[in-house]
Chains A and B, each alone.
Chain A
Amino acid sequence: GENVEQHPSTLSVQEGDSAVIKCTYSDSASNYFPWYKQELGKRPQLIIDIRSNVGEKKDQRIAVTLNKTAKHFSLHITETQPEDSAVYFCAAIATNTSGTYKYIFGTGTRLKVLA
């Protein structure tokens, strides 16, 4: 069935360093890949997304890259700050046998930015 794997499960970085989170997906028909940030006790919120017609997208300190051939996509956070500490989820839109779509989430990465 559809699957999204996410690594690492936890990541600690020093303030100012970069953080990279990687995901792989199984459904070759997936064409939309959002990333969500969930702070403790709060709802997941979209921080960036990428569609399959581009290989990279950047928004200030956050960037996402997509390799459709390898079915990989990654989140890059540069110049990390303490407020970046949260759980990050990747997701992919997957199709099921009847041709409908659903969001499948990775298992999450707990990022800690150490001051």
Chain B
Amino acid sequence: DAKTTQPTSMDCAEGRAANLPCNHSTISGNEYVYWYRQIHSQGPQYIIHGLKNNETNEMASLIITEDRKSSTLILPHATLRDTAVYYCIVQMKTSYDKVIFGPGTSLSVIP
């Protein structure tokens, strides 16, 4: 079973911020939180990752709670091209055999 839980689906109005939550209550101290997204039938695209501090890049921001049991991916100004399945995973760096992708959150950006 995946070590993360995410809502099955979410809608977001175009131009608004999309806030995608993820619960990872059993995360261990050396596991990172990674976010990927997958547009239909394409390979997953890396978005962002973090250990315990909040992170920001050109695509998104990642907010990790102080106890590290949950996180939120923020797309500040969602566009139609952000419609995709978003995966939150936890992993130790380079331990890919332990990575479990759950079903993710299907985000629909509405015009």
> Do A and B come together as binding partners?
no
Q: Which residues does B use to contact A, with CB under 8 Å?
A: none
Chain A interface residues (CB < 8 Å from chain B): none
